[in-house]
Amino acid sequence: MSRRAAIALAVGGILVSAANAQSCDQTTDHAIGLHGGAYTNGENITDAQMSFIRELAASVNIDLASGMDAVSAVEKAVRAMEASALYNAGRASITNQEGYVENDASIMSGNDLNAGAVGSLIDTKSPIHAARLVMEKSRHVMVVGDRGEAYVRELGAEEAPDGWFVKAGSEKDEHGTVGAVALDRCGNLAAATSTGGYDAKVPGRLGDVPVIGAGTYADNNGAAVSATGHGEWFIRHGAAHSTSLLVEGGLSVAEASENVLARMARSKGYGAVITLDTGGNFAAPHSTKGIIHAFASDDAEAYSKKTSGDMVGRENN
């Protein structure tokens, strides 16, 4: 099987169709940014992780060029990363201190500020799909825990098959998150994020990922943002929303992102973000050692990187 076919399989059948194409005055501008998590020390970042995220960006970029809306683009990307078993999200999520997986995810539309989030799901195949179902089929923004999981099952979220979570019971010390930001040809932004959280976390712990405005945010007037890192600090700073507001106020996506990360770093809260505006401008700064990320647009060929420069707000050593 080719890697492109593997990506298509991991997406679980999400294809460009009349259901997610758009009818508007389209431009040629579009962009997709992805991340596979921040890294802090000596994590073993593999060639498979880097090539998968680059080729996924290329694939979703083609979909955006064909008219896919931004929300569908970020869901497709994150759903593929969840299913790939290459990152700390979905299938390869790390476990809590009791040895089982708890997944968090969220998604947001920059066009109308509609959003959906799920937290502490233990047996849902695609948390990001569950979050989208909450966004589009319920009157709520966030549902969590066993009762929330029962609710998303009623909405159509698929249960994970036996053996789906490949790291169940693992004690491997690693962190990370996956996320996506997109600009579609109607000029709309969207963001999505999914994670298994911190290893050995207390059962029931929620980080920034399901908190709209902390780990995920999108507003056409500002920016689309997906975060990864020390979730408690992203919550305390409302980091994703703060970044979008700074872009709305006139800062570039790089300046806005670095400003928020630097404020967090002063309190020893470290992490990274990917940020995209309606001009297609993209940034992936970090106060950790780096961030796995990829980008593609109407005028930029798909690439992936392990880092994006110096650590924001820290001595680079």
pLDDT digits (tens, 9 = 90+) for 295-309: 999 999 999 998 756
Cα gap 20→248, rounded to integer Å:
27
CATH code, 284: 3.60.20.30
Q: How many CB atoms lie within 10 A of CB 79?
A: 28
Residue 65 placed within a domain: yes
Range of the domain at 83: 30-305
The fraction of the chain above a pLDDT of 70, given in percent, is 86
What's the mean pLDDT in 86-93? Answer: 93
Examine residue 9 and state whether it is found in any structural domain, yes or no: no
Q: Is residue 20 part of a domain?
A: no
Three-class SS state of 30? coil
Residue 5 lies in a domain: no
Contact 134, 143 (CB under 8 A): yes
Arithmetic mean of pLDDT, 69-93: 96
Handedness of CA 70, 75, 76, 81 (dihedral sign): positive
> Does residue 292 lie within any of the structural domains?
yes
The CA-to-CA distance between both ends of the chain, in Å, stands at 42
The domain total for the chain is 1
Give per-residue pLDDT as tens, 91-110: 999 888 888 899 999 999 99
Of 190, 286, 167, the C-alpha closest to 230 is 286
In a domain? residue 8: no
CB 85 within 8 A of CB 11: no
Number of helices (H) and strands (E) in the chain: give both, helices first: 8, 12
Angle between helices 47-65 and 70-83 (to 10 degrees): 160
Task: Give CA–CA dist 138/192, Å, rounded.
Answer: 18
Find the length of the chain: 317
Report how far residue 235's alpha carbon sits from residue 175's, in angstroms, rounded to the nearest whole number.
Answer: 17
Task: Please check whether residue 127 lies inside any domain of the structure.
Answer: yes
The pLDDT of residue 2 is above 60:
no
Residue 18, pLDDT > 70, answer no
**Is residue 144 situated within a structural domain?**
yes
Is residue 171 over pLDDT 60? no
CB atoms within 10 A of CB 15: 12
Interval 20-66: pLDDT, tens: 566 666 788 999 999 999 987 767 889 999 999 999 999 999 999 99
- What average pLDDT score do residues 99-126 get? 96
Report residue 301: phi and psi, to 5°: -65, 145
What average pLDDT is seen over the chain?
A: 89
In this predicted structure, which of 61-75, 164-178, 213-227, 260-274 has the lowest mean pLDDT?
164-178
The catalytic residue positions are 177
pLDDT, tens digit, for every residue of 179-232? Answer: 999 999 999 999 999 998 876 788 888 989 999 999 999 999 999 999 999 889
Q: How confident is the model at residue 15 (pLDDT cuts 50, 70, 90)?
A: very low
pLDDT at 44: 80
User: CA dihedral in degrees (260, 266, 271, 274; nearest 10)?
Assistant: 20
- The C-alpha R_g of the chain, in whole angstroms, comes to 17
Spatial separation of the C-alpha atoms in residues 229 and 271, rounded to whole Å: 4
